[in-house]
Each structure stands twice: as structure tokens, then as C-alpha cells.
Structure 1
Amino acid sequence: MLQNQKRHYLAQFYSANDNPGIRQRKANLVARAIYPKAGGVKSFASLQVRIVGLHENGATIQSSAIEFLPDHFYLCLGDGEIFFTCAKKNVMKAEMVVSFSKPEDTFFIEALSKINLPLATLKRMRDSVPPVIQARMVPRKA
């Protein structure tokens, strides 16, 4: 399966509540991985990734350019509507296992794994997702 490689120093704290009984759910979501550019104070870069597995403490993501992601980054769903703070755990070719900074709600993860239109996650998700996901969304700026 995935080989253990050098882990980000924060990953040990993110996975402090790891539960070996947690069930990974299959997913098919397109997201953006957002990370600070090297040398830039307020500049960020993004990389399109596909979330193929979800559980309460992390996710499995895929991208052809996964090696460009730093050890610590954010996964963004929608038009800046939902963010996950992530740390790299394991990397193998074009796939990466990440830990979330805090465990997510089981109902929220279940609802995300059931989204049928993955490309909708690159646009606004409001009003097209279950209430448990809408409750987590960042409020719109007026």
C-alpha cells in the first residue's frame, strides 16, 4: 500500500486521536490544495486535486503534481466555502494520505462522500448540498 516517508512535524499532532477502527469512505471530489508560495508573504498557489477517500481524521488525495505540495496546506471545496487544514502523512507516486488538523463530524464526512457531481465542488456548492454541509460553509461576504 502506501509507504511511510518523512512526515511533517505537525502530522504527529494532527493524528494524535487516530482510531484504527475508523472507516475510510470512497469519494470523488475535485478540490484545490492551497499553500503559500516560497518567498511570498501573502501570496498563495493552488493545485487541483481529487479526493478519493475520506474519513473523520483525514483523506486520500490524488494529483499528477502531488510532489509540489508542501508538508502543510489547505484543501478547499467550493468557491472558498469549506477549508480543511492538512498535513502530509504518506506519499506514493500520484497519491497522498493527509491528516486533518482536527477530526471532522461523521455526518459531514458521510454527506461529502455522497456528492455525485464532483466538478460542482470547484464552483459554488450552496443550495445543492445537504444541510449538514451547508452548515459548515463559510458565510458569503456581502
Structure 2
Amino acid sequence: MGDRRRGIPTTCRCGEAVRMGTSRTAKNPGRLFHSCPNGSDEDRWYHTFKWTDESMVEEIEDLKLKVKNVEEDSISLQKSFNACESEVETLQMETRVCEAVVEKELQECKMELRSLKNMIGCVVVMMLVYFFLF
């Protein structure tokens, strides 16, 4: 029977590279196969022999599964990306709100600072008037 791995075989268990050939038998005329060049009918159980059409069906089945997995991963990735975009938008909005709050508080602090400067100025003037008058 040969190699039990799925898909198109590339190497035999003996380490030799597998080659593609065409059947010349009456039972399978013109049918493509993959086989080990060291194999023979007596030791086919050890050396690789596999019909190409069967290998191709396995390859296609495996590729269909891989494509399905890629599609599922793509959908999951798109959902994660959309969630990240939404989070970024939320953070941008929160940043704008914080900037507005900080700007408002900064304006209030500036106003308080001006008031304190005016009060200190008044106190200095009153002290000067007091010292000069008394």
C-alpha cells in the first residue's frame, strides 16, 4: 500500500524523492501515480506508491479545510479590528472631553491668579499708603 500520508507524497520512507509516472497496465492505462524509484511490486508495502488522482482529492479536501479556517480567522480578525476601531473612537472622544475640561480648569486658574495678583497689588498699595500716612 505504501505511504499513508495525505496529499501528494514527496519523499518515500526510505528517504528517496518520489517521482510521478504513468501506468501502462491494462487495468489502469494512462493513470498517473507517485512512487519511489526503489519500489517494486514485492516491497510496495514499504516504498511509496499512490495514485495521483487520489492524492489530488486529498489535497483539495485539505485545502478546502484550510480555506474554511482562514475564512473563519478572517471573520474573527475583522470583528477584533472593528472592536479596536470602536475603542479608538471612544478614547479619542474621551480625550477631547478631557482636553476641554483641562482647558476650562486652566482658564479658571488664570482668572484666580489674576484675582490674587489684584489682591496682592491692593494690599501692597494699602501698606504703602499706611506707611506714608502714619
Tell me if TM exceeds 0.5: no
More helix by share: 2
Place the TM-score, normalised by the shorter chain, in its bin: under 0.3
Larger Rg: 2
* Larger RCO (alpha carbons 8 Å, 6+ apart): 1
